[in-house]
Amino acid sequence: MTKQDRLYARRNFLKSGTAAALLPWLPGSLFAAGDDEFDYQLTASVSGIRLADEPFPETKTWSFNRQSPGPLLRLRRGETVRVAVKNELPQELTVHWHGLRITNAMDGVPILTQPPITPGDTFVYRYTPPDAGTFWYHSHVNTAEQVGRGLYGPIIVEEPEAPPVDRDLVWVLDDWKLDQRAQIVADFDNRRDLARAGRLGNTVTINGRIPQSLSVRAGERLRLRLINAANARIFALRFRGHRTLVIARDGQPVDPYEPGGPVVIGPAQRFDLIFDMTGEPGQRYSVIDVNYPQSPSRLTDIEYLQQARLPDKPAGDYPGLPRNNIPQPDLRDPLVQPIVLAGGDLGQLTHAQLGGQRLEMTRLYLLGKMWAINDIVNTGYSDTPLFAVERGKTVILEFRNHSAWPHPMHLHGHHFQVLEHSRDREVTGKWLDTVLLGPEESARVAFVADNPGDWLFHCHILGHARAGMMAVIRVS
């Protein structure tokens, strides 16, 4: 990408309407670097962000370019991008480009795909995104802590033609576990969190801020990109008074549909929504999180400006987005691999393998390891694969969640097609990189193992991965 291309992309971004929604946390000087050796620079460092109103002080976070979420990366499908990542943290670092089907060497998993970036060093990632859509990036060393402290940011890979909307908005959802001084509670090895639903914060943010109202104009059509960057929180959003249309999930287009209930988005998942501002000037509607139905909470409000109504858009169904080129699974002779998820509090797992030894759960708990895939507890980014498959072979993963807690399971380097899900019928046929399984739920997904390398596969409730629920799939 030349400097002229970068300036062109930035002008298009400013014209798109997205900038108006993101400028509070995306300074213009950080859209792209001017150095010919790379297109973007991300510097990871300790910084202060205001998560709570005065008189509370700023919250000390770890962030990219002194902001959390980090800078939005706007990329083009099929064009190579170079991102220089500089580490000014007291810990090692890598960056994973979540959902992008890129080469294994650029996937950003320490030891497995690259040496960690040591404090003071810089690593330049070079990759070519094959898919248009909504993605994100985040650290992948000591992931539960580093993401929990704010090391992540959004990615948009542009479609060849932008959909006909008035504004294209990004909401990066997160929650933060803060103490009475509005500082991050550093108990990332809290055994109760690790063994149950994960680290749930007490302060919810959109784009790194306590949510304020979204100001809209009657008659507008919005595209809203939702990214769940939380360590463990599942959001179930109802947009009161508005018809919501899902047009993409996990970056992959879908046949547009209205969800039968709230938009349920697990950690690491993404939804692209289209909805029309059909209210009247001066009206106000709430966006409610009903994931805990006994205590629903208001996420934010949609507030209509006192301005003349824009011309109404056609009421017919949205035409949808062009599909990305993902190889179709051949279900005639697949490799079928059971994936049994077990462990945690209230579970039935009594023993599991750790480092080649079969240990009782009480012993595993003392070691801070209480989750297993196929009775194997992972201690780190091991290069010993759970299974291996020849390149080009279709794989079917048969998930069974035999635990009392949810698990959003993420596969690096690939997207998979959901063949069936025991509860969520709407997800059938969709292409995802992260599938959410509730307690005692099951699912079957299929993908073509067309991307060679050792690929991480883990629960994206990051405390669960930290406590053993991860594995490696080898494509050779």
**pLDDT reported for residue 28:** 29
Average pLDDT for 304-321: 86
Q: Is the pLDDT of residue 349 over 90?
A: yes
Q: Which range has the worst mean pLDDT, 12-16, 386-390, 420-424? A: 12-16
Match 């380097």 to its residue by tokens: 413
Which residues 6+ apart lie within 8 Å of 218 measured at CB?
277, 278, 279, 280, 281, 304, 305, 307, 308, 309, 310
For residues 111 and 2, the model is more confident at: 111
Tokens of 310: 């824009």
CATH code matching the domain that covers 335-475, chosen among 2.60.40.420, 3.40.50.300, 1.10.3720.10, 2.60.40.10: 2.60.40.420
pLDDT bucket at 163, cuts 50 / 70 / 90: confident
Q: From CA 181, how far away is CA 340, in angstroms rounded?
A: 41
Percent of the chain past pLDDT 90, that is, above it, reads 85
To which CATH superfamily is domain 168-304 assigned?
Cupredoxins -  blue copper proteins (2.60.40.420)
Domain ranges of the chain: 3-159, 168-304, 335-475
Fold agreement between 168-304 and 335-475: yes
Confidence band for 52, pLDDT divided at 50, 70 and 90: confident
| Separation in Å, CA 158 to CA 165, 227, 312 | 14, 16, 26
Residue whose C-alpha is closest to residue 296's, from 325, 269, 262, 329? 262
DSSP character for 106?
G
What amino acid is encoded at 150 in this protein?
Answer: G
CB burial string 42-61: b at 16+ within 10 A, e below = bbbbebebebbeeeeeebeb
> Is 473's pLDDT higher than 90?
yes
Q: Is the pTM of this model over 0.85?
A: yes
pLDDT (average), residues 439-448: 98
Average pLDDT (63-69) is 97
Within 142-230, residue ranges assigned H as helices are 143-148, 191-195
Please, which pLDDT band fits residue 409 given cuts at 50, 70 and 90? Answer: very high
Question: Structure tokens of 396?
Answer: 């079917």
**The domain over range 3-159 is classified in CATH as 1.10.443.10:** no
3-state helix, strand, coil in the chain (%, to 5): 10, 40, 50
| Number of residues in the chain | 476
Q: Using the predicted structure, report yes or no on whether residue 180 has a pLDDT greater than 60.
A: yes
Structure tokens at 383: 């290069």
What's the chain's average pLDDT? 91
**pLDDT band (50, 70, 90) for residue 313:** confident
Alpha helices (H) along 125-234 = 143-148, 191-195
What pLDDT does residue 186 have? 97
State residue 9's pLDDT score: 38
Residue 8 is predicted with a pLDDT of 33
- Mean pLDDT (whole number) for 409-421: 98
Structure confidence at residue 300 (pLDDT): 97
Q: What is the pLDDT of residue 321?
A: 93
* Other beta carbons less than 10 A from residue 20's beta carbon: 12
Q: What is the pLDDT of residues 94-144, one digit of tens each?
A: 999 999 999 999 999 999 999 999 999 999 999 999 999 999 999 999 999
Closest CA to 62 of 153, 127, 124, 192: 153
pLDDT band at residue 293 under the 50/70/90 scheme: confident
Torsion of CA 258, 260, 263, 266, to 10 degrees: -120
* Stretch 141-152: mean pLDDT: 98
Contact 137, 97 (CB under 8 A): yes
